[in-house]
Structure 1
Amino acid sequence: MVRQPWALRTFAAATVGRFSYGIVFLSLMVALSQATGSYAWAGTAVACFGLSSSFLAPLRARLLDRRGPRRVLPVMATVYAALLAALTVATWGPGAPPWTLLVLTLAAGACAPPLGPVMRVLWSDLMPDEELRQRAFSLDTVVEELLYVFGPLVAGLFIAFGHPALGVGVSAVLVLTGTLALVASPLLRRRASPAATGEPGTEPVSDGGAADDRPETGSGQGPATDGGARGWAGLLAPVVVTGGVGMALGALELLVVAFTEAHDRVAAVAWIQAALSVGSAIGGMAYGARKWRLPSRQRLFLSAFVLSVVLAAAGAVSDLYVLVVVVGCIGLFVAPALSTAYLVADECATEETRIQAGTWVNSAFNAGSSGGTTTAGLLLGQLSLPACFVVAAVPALASTATALVRPRQAARPATATKTAPAAADTPAPDAR
C-alpha cells in the first residue's frame, strides 16, 4: 500500500495533522481549567469545541467536495491553527475572560479540517481493488486509534512540565504543518473536484443516488456493491452501525470506571482502556491482512453483532483481570467495524460526495460515543452494573437490523450518457 507512488509521504503528512486531535482535547481541558479556575467553564468550553467540530463536519466536508481540498483545506487549517494559537496565549496564565475562551473554542471546533476523510478518499483513489482498499482503510483506522492513545501521553508531558497551554500550541503547529504538507502532495495536486473544476464531459450525479455510466472500479466511482444504492440511501448502513458502535463504546468507557470504583481499583481504568486500544490495533491489522469472501456490508454487520455480544457478556464478569481480557476482545472488532464502515460508505458515495460520506460515518461515531456516555451515566443510578453492560450492547446490536433494509438501486437512464474520464481524478504515476 505505502509502496504506491507518493502514498507514504501523503499518509505521513495526514498523520502529522491528525496527531493534533489526539493532543488537543486533554491539553485544552487542563489549560482552560487552570486559566479560569473552574472545571465547569473548562468542561463547557471543551464540550462546545467537540460539538461544533462534530455537527459542522458534514458542512465542511460538503465544502471540500464542492470546491476541492486544495482550495479549502489550507484556509481551514490556517484559521483553525490561528484560533488554537489565540487559545494558547489566552490560557498561558490565569485571568482570561471565560466568555472569550468559550467563543474561541467554539470557533476553533467549527473550523477543524477533516483530514481523515480526505486521506481515505486518497486511499480509495490509490487502491481500485477492494481487497487493497480494505487493507488501506484498516491501516488508516489502526493508526488513527494509536494517535488517540499516544496523543494524551504527549499532552501529559506538557501538563507535567506545568504548561498545558503548550500542548494547545503544539497542536496548532501540527495541524497546520500536516495539512500544508498534505495539500502539497502530488496525489492531492493531481486530484480535483469535478464540481470545482467544471470539467467538460463530466456528468454530475445527483445526491439521490442515480447511477452513472462510469465503469465500476470499486473505488467509490462505480455502482455500489452488495446490492446497496449509491448516494445518500446507501449510507444508511454504515452511518447507523457506526453510531451504534459509538454508543456502545461511549457507554463502555463510563461503565469501566464504575466497575473499577466498585473494586477500589480506579487506577486500573488506564489498563482497561489500553486493552481496548491494543485489541483494536491487533484486530484491525489482522482484518486488513485477510482476504475476505463475505461482501463488505455483511462484514460490517457481523463485526457490530459480535462486538455487541462480547460487550453484553462483559456484564457477567466479576474479576478485574478477566474484564481486561474481555475488553481487549471487544477491541478486536472495533477497527474492523470502523474500517469496513468507511469502505461501504466509499462504495456508496458518488464522486461529488465522497468526502461527505466518510465524514458522516465519522460524525455518527463521535455523536454516538457522546450519547452512549450520557446514557450510561443515567442508567448507572437506575440499574445494576451487569444490566448496564447488557443495555450498552443494545445500540450496536440494534444497528445490525439495517441489514434487513436493502436500499433499492436507482435505475439507469434509458439513454446512456457517455462520461469522459477526468484525468485529474486518477493519481498520475511518480514523475520523479
Structure 2
Amino acid sequence: MTLADHPTITPPPATYGAVLGSRHVIRLLGGTLTGRLPNGMVPVGLVLWITGAGGTLAFAGLLAALYGLASALSQPVKGRLMDRFGQPRVSAPAAVLNSGCLLALPLIGAGGHPAAVAAVVGFAGLMTPPLEAGLRALWPSVLPDPAQRRFVQALDSGSQGLLYIAGPLLASWLAATHGPNTALIATAALGLAGTVIVLTAAPSRTWRPAPTAGAAGGGRLRSSGLVLLFTALAATGFTLGAMNVWAAGMATTHGLDMLAGVLPAAFSTGSFLGGLLYARRAWPGTTTSHLITTAGLFLLGWLPLLAHLGPHAAIALAVLPGLFLTLIITNAFHTVDALAPASRTTEAYAWLILSVGTGQAAGTALAGALSAHTAVLAALPAAGAATTLAILILARRKLGPGRRPGRHRRTRHRHTRHHR
C-alpha cells in the first residue's frame, strides 16, 4: 500500500528541533528579526529625539508616521526588483542608505530645519530593506518539506509581533541611558547588521525567482482573488491601528500610562503563542477554510473587549484576539503562494505587507479622530475584524487554487500529469 492509495494522508507535523535544526533556518530568522528591529525602534526613537531637544510631539509623530508610510508604500517596488535582480542587489544598497540616513539625523540635529529632517526620515523609510518579503520567498528553497515550511512560517509570523515589544523598549532604554542620538545610531547599526546576516547566507545569495513560463507564470499579479485578499488584510491592519489608539484611550480612562504599552504587548504575546500552537500539528481543511475560520475566531476574540473592562481584565482578554492574528497572516501568505505568478511572488508578498501597513495607518487615523467617543473607540478593532471576515467569506471561491497557480502548486500539477 502506497501514499498514492491514500492521497489524503498527511506527514507528521514538524518539530521545533527538526525545523530550527535545519541548515540556515536560525540564521535567516535571527538575521531578519534583527534587521527588522528598526521597524519598532525608529518611531519611538524619533519621538524621543525630537521631544528631547524641545520639539513638539506633533512634529515627532508626523516624522514617525512618515517613516512607516514610506516604508510600507515602497515595499511592492522593492519586491518586484528582487524578483528581477535577486535579493542582495536590492536589499544591500537599501540597507546602506537606510542606515546612512538614520546616522545622518544626529549630525543634522533635532533642531535642524524641519523640511531637511523630514526629507531624511522619509528617504530612510523608502530605503527600508524588504527583509520580510525576502524571507518568505526563501523558505521553499530552505525547507522543501511543506510541513516544516508551514511550521517556520507560523513561527516567523508570530515572532514579528515581538519586534513591536522589544523594539520600543530597547529604543526607550537606549535613549534614557545614553541619549536619543545613541538610540538612533544603535537602530541604524542593528538594521545593517541584520541585513548583512541574511544577505551573506547562501540561500539569499543564490535565490532566483521561478522563470516566467506561459500563462501560469506570466499572468497579472492583481487577480481578483489577490485584490480581495489584500483588501481583507487591510481591514486586519485597520484593527491593529485602532487597537493601539484604544489602548492609549484605556490608559487615559484609568489613569495608568502603562496600559498604552501593556495592552498591545499582551496582544502580541497572544500572537506569538498562537503561532507556536498552530504550527504544532497539521490541521484538517484547506488554506482557505483555515483563513476564514481564524478570521472568525479573531472577530470573536474582540467581542469581550467591547464591554467596559477594568485594566486587569482588559490585559487578560487582549491575548484572545492576538492568538489568531498569526494564523490569519500565515494563511494569507499561503494563499498568495497559490495565487501569485511564480515569477512575482516576492512582489505579491510585499503587496500583502503594504495592505496591512496602510490599513494600520487608516485605523490609527480614524481611531484618533474618534478617540473622544469611548464606546466607538472600543468597537473599531472589532469592526475591522468583522470586515476582514466578511470579505474573506465573499471571496472564498476565488482564494483557493485556481487558474493562475503559484510556484508550488504548478510543480505538483506537473508531477501529477506526468504519472497519469
Q: How does 1:288-303 map to 2 (within 5 A)?
A: 288-303=279-294
CA contact (8 A) 1:194 1:202 kept: no
Q: Would you say 1:410 and 2:410 are equivalent positions?
A: no
Q: Runs of 4 or more off by more than 4 Å in structure 1?
A: 201-204
Residue 70 of structure 1 aligns with which residue? 88
255, 259, 267: which is aligned to 1:264? 255
170, 176, 180: which is aligned to 1:160? 176
Report the secondary structure of 1:72's partner residue.
Answer: helix
The alignment's TM-score, normalised by the length of structure 1, stands at: 0.82
Q: Would you say 1:392 and 2:392 are equivalent positions?
A: no
Write out per-residue CA displacement over residues 55-94 of structure 1, whole angstroms, 9 at most, x where no aligned residue. Answer: 1211111111111112211111111111111113223xx5
Partners of 2:224 and 2:106 lie apart in 1 by 43
Q: Would you say 1:95 and 2:111 are equivalent positions?
A: yes
The structural deviation recorded for 1:194 is 5.2
The alignment's TM-score, normalised by the length of structure 2, stands at: 0.84
CA contact (8 A) 1:85 1:169 kept: yes
Unaligned ranges ≥5, structure 1: 210-230, 422-432
Q: How does 1:185-204 map to 2 (within 5 A)?
A: 185-193=201-209
Q: Would you say 1:184 and 2:200 are equivalent positions?
A: yes
Residue 332 of structure 1 aligns with which residue? 323
Residue 134 of structure 1 aligns with which residue? 150
The structural deviation recorded for 1:387 is 4.3
* Aligned length, in residue pairs: 386
Give the share of equivalent positions with the same residue, in percent: 25
CA contact (8 A) 1:21 1:171 kept: no
Report the secondary structure of 2:20's partner residue.
Answer: coil
Residue 76 of structure 2 aligns with which residue? 58
CA contact (8 A) 2:246 2:367 kept: yes
Report the secondary structure of 2:32's partner residue.
Answer: helix
CA contact (8 A) 2:243 2:264 kept: no
319, 325, 349: which is aligned to 1:358? 349
CA contact (8 A) 1:342 1:358 kept: yes
Letter in 2 for 1:205: G
Residue 15 of structure 2 aligns with which residue? none
Residues 343 and 90 of structure 1: is their aligned pair in 2 closer, same or farther, counting only changes over 3 Å? same
Q: How does 1:368-387 map to 2 (within 5 A)?
A: 368-381=359-372, 383=373, 385-387=374-376
The structural deviation recorded for 1:204 is 7.8
Q: Would you say 1:32 and 2:23 are equivalent positions?
A: no
The structural deviation recorded for 1:26 is 0.9
The structural deviation recorded for 1:325 is 1.6
Residues 142 and 391 of structure 1: is their aligned pair in 2 closer, same or farther, counting only changes over 3 Å? closer
Write out per-residue CA displacement over residues 262-306 of structure 1, whole angstroms, 9 at most, x where no aligned residue. Answer: 233333333322211211111111011121112112211221222
CA contact (8 A) 1:251 1:369 kept: yes
Residues 268 and 10 of structure 1: is their aligned pair in 2 closer, same or farther, counting only changes over 3 Å? closer
Q: How does 1:171-320 map to 2 (within 5 A)?
A: 171-193=187-209, 205-208=217-220, 232-320=223-311
Partners of 2:149 and 2:185 lie apart in 1 by 35
Letter in 2 for 1:39: L
Residue 14 of structure 2 aligns with which residue? none
Unaligned ranges ≥5, structure 2: 1-18, 415-420
Residues 49 and 388 of structure 1: is their aligned pair in 2 closer, same or farther, counting only changes over 3 Å? closer
CA contact (8 A) 1:134 1:340 kept: no
Write out per-residue CA displacement over residues 220-241 of structure 1, whole angstroms, 9 at most, x where no aligned residue. Answer: xxxxxxxxxxx64332354223
The structural deviation recorded for 1:369 is 1.2
Report the secondary structure of 1:161's partner residue.
Answer: helix
CA RMSD of aligned residues (A): 2.6
Q: Which moved more, 1:153-162 or 1:233-242?
A: 233-242
Partners of 2:21 and 2:228 lie apart in 1 by 32
Residues 374 and 185 of structure 1: is their aligned pair in 2 closer, same or farther, counting only changes over 3 Å? same
CA contact (8 A) 1:248 1:308 kept: no
Residues 387 and 350 of structure 1: is their aligned pair in 2 closer, same or farther, counting only changes over 3 Å? same
Partners of 1:8 and 1:397 lie apart in 2 by 36
Report the secondary structure of 2:255's partner residue.
Answer: coil
Partners of 1:77 and 1:202 lie apart in 2 by 35
Q: How does 1:104-115 map to 2 (within 5 A)?
A: 104-115=120-131
Partners of 1:187 and 1:291 lie apart in 2 by 26
Write out per-residue CA displacement over residues 363-392 of structure 1, whole angstroms, 9 at most, x where no aligned residue. Answer: 1111111111222223333x4x33443343
Letter in 1 for 2:264: Q
The structural deviation recorded for 1:159 is 1.4
Residue 11 of structure 2 aligns with which residue? none
Partners of 2:404 and 2:304 lie apart in 1 by 44
CA contact (8 A) 1:22 1:148 kept: yes
Partners of 2:216 and 2:305 lie apart in 1 by 48
